[in-house]
Structure 1
Amino acid sequence: MKFKFEGLEKQVLDSLSKKGRIYLVGGIVRDYLLYHQVDYHDVDVEIYDLEIEEIDAILSKYGHVNRIGKSFGILKLDTLPHFDFAMPRKESKSGKTHREFDVTVCKNLDLKEACRRRDFTINAFMYDYKNDQILDFYNGKVDLQKGILKMIDEKTFQEDPLRILRLAQFMARFEMKADKKTKEVCQRMVQKGELDYLSKERVLQEYNKLLLSIHPSIGLKFLLEIGAIIEPLETLVTCPQRLDFHPEGNVMNHTLLVVDLAALCRQKTSWPLAFMWSALLHDIGKPLVTTPEGKAPGHNESGVQVFNQYFNHFFENKKIKKYIKTMIYYHMHLMNMVRNQSKDYSYYKLLKGIEGIFPLEDLVCMSKCDKLGRLANRPETISTLDAYVEEKVSRLGKHALKPIIDGKILIDLGFQPNDEFKELLDWAYDLQMRDHDFESIIKLLKGRQNGR
């Protein structure tokens, strides 16, 4: 096999190879074996027989070198930002957080020993750049063929609890199973509370990868089985639904079906990651309002409440929070409007609620995933939804109405800017959505001004 490096990439690797031994490690080798091609977006190079100063000197000929992890022996080159250049190292945990590790850099470390710190056998391959050879000390090729994710070393694996979440997202991305012993070790780590020491940023990163995978439910089911799912998703397991509408059973069963459907259409949406989070959390409010009969009135409103309580701090990006909360709130609206054959006013109100947050097409996709994410599929309802939306869009468009009454008009009419100003504008806009024209709204405003 040969990796295709050209231009500057090849010059840098050839220069390093003349002085020391260099190996491509990690995901790039795994992906080549899996798919027989890679996109070279993330290249890890491990360099042997050279001190960090020697590596620095070679790389400096080709750009500016940044020692992002000097104590870890890791260097970056500004002209090859997708490359990491690292010395071989051994790691041992010295505390509870991911930053508390003792690192020993050793330029002549035994190759098999150097691979021992890696998480899974399928991530422990080394590609000998000079000799065009793959080194596989832990039988990773066999595990790839069998579709098995297996830890390399029980002791080193337990030193980083993030590996539990990495296992889940690898399962979902590659549609693989966890080795029995590896799963048992993960379960013990969860029971010991090891996940409590992970930062929300690291947890979020792994969940993002899981949700953008081929088959998200595989990883989510694994986390459920070992008790590692983020709160309050675990409450969905014990929340019943009406079996005539949801023969798949509890809310979690429904959610798992929905996220897999969402994964199939997410690339059609304006923001795939936000869309997937919305699919995962769309029914998060059901446990708060579900009746003994399995009905869940107002679960969209309670869903926003649960999001604010448990997930608002989870996301730093305000726009993704707005997207998810809005999708939770409106995820049922279209289907309800179809069922009730709602008039134009309801459609305009919906457009106003989502305007500037996500396009109507995103909500249509979510509505379909929600409707089909059950074992009582009724495909005819999807056709009815499409026909309803197509008719509304053809007549009314897919964007909220632009207000025909603004603050200047109110002032010209003699209204004084005060606390009631916004309420007046909202009232006028509501009249507009109810199909009142400009003259009609002006007349009603004058009547209100005169106390009529």
Structure 2
Amino acid sequence: MHLNIPISDFAKTLFDDLLEHGATIYFVGGIVRDTLLGRDNKDLDVEVYHLPYDLLVERLSHFGHVRTFGASFAVVHLDELPGYEFALPRRETKTGPKHTDFTVTIAPDLAPQMAAKRRDLTINALMVDYADGTLYDFYHGYEDLQNGIIRAVDPLHFGEDPLRVLRIASFMSRLLFQVEEGTKQLCKQMVQEGLLEALSIERITIEYEKILMGTQPSLGLNFLKEVHGLPPYLQALVTTMQRRDYHPEGSVWNHTMLVIDLCAHVKEHTSDPLSFMWSGLLHDIGKPATTVGEHSYRHDEMGVTVFQKDVHMQLSKKQKQYIRCMIAHHMQLMNMATHHARPITFKRLLKELEGIFPLDDLAWFTRCDKMGRGYIASSQIAMFNDYLDEMIALCGDQAEKPLIDGKTLIEAGFSDHHFYKQLLAEAYDLQLAGYQRDAILRRLKGER
């Protein structure tokens, strides 16, 4: 079988130069897999055989600025080809518990079949010869690709890299594949042996982001549940049950899985799709600590506390602010619609969201949360949409600009700045109630 991997004319010129100097070039890994699946992939891994490391670096330098990562890793990047990674075939020997603890031995003349054996999954061990487009499939990866199966290349050495457990989960979410039972048992054993504890927060976060940004995140997350690889704050959702009349889907975990799959379908309509997806995963993490019987009072507030205390992911300040705000307010808009809350309540909500995310993000999340209950509550969604349209028509979708600010308080003679925050909050609430600037100042001064 032959496969055409599309590359630029510049890349072809460079590759042909390497061939003239005795190299054999293979496309490997994800670019081959995704080309066969008809999926886009901007990263292109190139394995260069029969060429010493120094000569590879020297030839690439004729085409632009070369960045090396140490001769022992045999990996080279060229700035003029972003997304391309050039590597020499190598052998890897495990030296410690971390997924980066390997001794690498460069082997330019290693047989391609042996080089492919160090890869994690059969679908990632496919190789294409640049010279003639021949597809090499030493471990039946093409068959697994056709059947939607995720399978370890080498069960004997698969467990040497604990990151592979999370990588499998991310592939499931993105490719919608199933895991071969033997590979699943290998992952379960790795978790039982505590190997995932050696992973850095950075790498865990990266793989969770891939899971969440996949087409069906629940596939990868349910796999992690099955192999007992979830962090405690997510594992607790599995055994926390909900009121069956409100949540016929059962546990908080089941509800969360329905919600994140719905979120995945609408995330591109939001201002920050990744933070939106994190919110979908974490919105109910306060329920285990607050559920008594069938009720979970104030689980939104507890959820913010659990998020800040127990969720150790590498998130930016902006992401954390977004997720905290969504957890805190994820029920509010639907409750307001159900009880047809007054415009002033709607305006207060707009102020709390200001500068964090637009009202539309919360509206999309509210719909996903409501529909993630095992059935489609179409009448409730229609009621919610009608209320939202009515409030936006009356109040807009942006918070009102305050009539009173710090400068106004100074000019009005309020000298103790320790009370400014409280006074500004009172002033804004009076504004929402319909008071004008002078009337607000009189109320603040206690004048009637």
Q: TM-score, normalised by structure 1?
A: 0.96
Match of 1:362?
A: 361
Q: What SS does the corresponding residue of 1:92 show, helix, strand or coil? A: strand
Match of 1:234?
A: 235
Q: What SS does the corresponding residue of 2:47 show, helix, strand or coil? A: strand
Match of 1:295?
A: 295
**Residues 4-403 of structure 1: pairs in structure 2 closer than 5 A:** 4-19=6-21, 20-35=23-38, 38-39=40-41, 41-292=42-293, 294-311=294-311, 313-403=312-402
Count of aligned pairs: 445
How far 1:296 sits from its partner (Å)? Answer: 1.0
- Contact preservation (8 Å) 1:245, 1:376: no
Match of 1:447?
A: 446
Query: 1:260-279 deviations in whole A, cap 9, x for unaligned?
Result: 00000001111111000000
- Contact preservation (8 Å) 2:5, 2:32: no
Query: 1:70-118 deviations in whole A, cap 9, x for unaligned?
Result: 2111111111121101000011110011231111101000110000110
Identity %: 45
Between the aligned partners of 2:410 and 2:424, the Cα distance in structure 1 is 11
Q: What SS does the corresponding residue of 1:280 show, helix, strand or coil? A: helix
How far 1:446 sits from its partner (Å)? Answer: 3.2
Q: After the TM superposition, which of the residue ranges 266-275 and 417-426 deviates more from structure 2?
A: 417-426
Cα RMSD (Å): 1.2
How far 1:231 sits from its partner (Å)? Answer: 2.1
Between the aligned partners of 1:187 and 1:60, the Cα distance in structure 2 is 45
Q: After the TM superposition, which of the residue ranges 392-401 and 257-266 deviates more from structure 2?
A: 392-401
How far 1:255 sits from its partner (Å)? Answer: 0.4
How far 1:377 sits from its partner (Å)? Answer: 2.7
Query: 1:375-432 deviations in whole A, cap 9, x for unaligned?
Result: 2431111111111111111221111111101122212221104211221111111111
Q: One-letter code of the match for 1:287?
A: P
Between the aligned partners of 2:138 and 2:279, the Cα distance in structure 1 is 41
- Contact preservation (8 Å) 1:126, 1:135: yes
Q: What SS does the corresponding residue of 1:76 show, helix, strand or coil? A: strand
Q: After the TM superposition, which of the residue ranges 415-424 and 44-53 deviates more from structure 2?
A: 415-424
Q: What SS does the corresponding residue of 2:4 show, helix, strand or coil? A: coil
1:418 aligned onto 2:422: no
Q: After the TM superposition, which of the residue ranges 103-112 and 90-99 deviates more from structure 2?
A: 90-99
Match of 1:434?
A: 433
Between the aligned partners of 1:6 and 1:298, the Cα distance in structure 2 is 56
Q: After the TM superposition, which of the residue ranges 61-70 and 46-55 deviates more from structure 2?
A: 61-70
Q: TM-score, normalised by structure 2?
A: 0.97
Q: One-letter code of the match for 1:423?
A: Q
Q: What SS does the corresponding residue of 1:14 show, helix, strand or coil? A: helix
How far 1:123 sits from its partner (Å)? Answer: 0.2
Query: 1:175-227 deviations in whole A, cap 9, x for unaligned?
Result: 11111110111111100101000011110100000000011111111110110
Query: 1:286-321 deviations in whole A, cap 9, x for unaligned?
Result: 1111121x111111000001101111x423410000
Q: One-letter code of the match for 1:78?
A: D
Q: Which segments of 5 or more consecutive residues in structure 2 lack a partner in the other structure?
A: none
- Contact preservation (8 Å) 2:176, 2:215: yes
Query: 1:146-166 deviations in whole A, cap 9, x for unaligned?
Result: 111000111221100000000
Q: What SS does the corresponding residue of 2:418 show, helix, strand or coil? A: coil
How far 1:68 sits from its partner (Å)? Answer: 1.8
Q: One-letter code of the match for 1:31?
A: D
Between the aligned partners of 2:408 and 2:133, the Cα distance in structure 1 is 75
Q: One-letter code of the match for 1:25?
A: V
How far 1:132 sits from its partner (Å)? Answer: 1.3
Query: 1:22-46 deviations in whole A, cap 9, x for unaligned?
Result: 00000000001111x544x101000
Between the aligned partners of 1:9 and 1:397, the Cα distance in structure 2 is 52
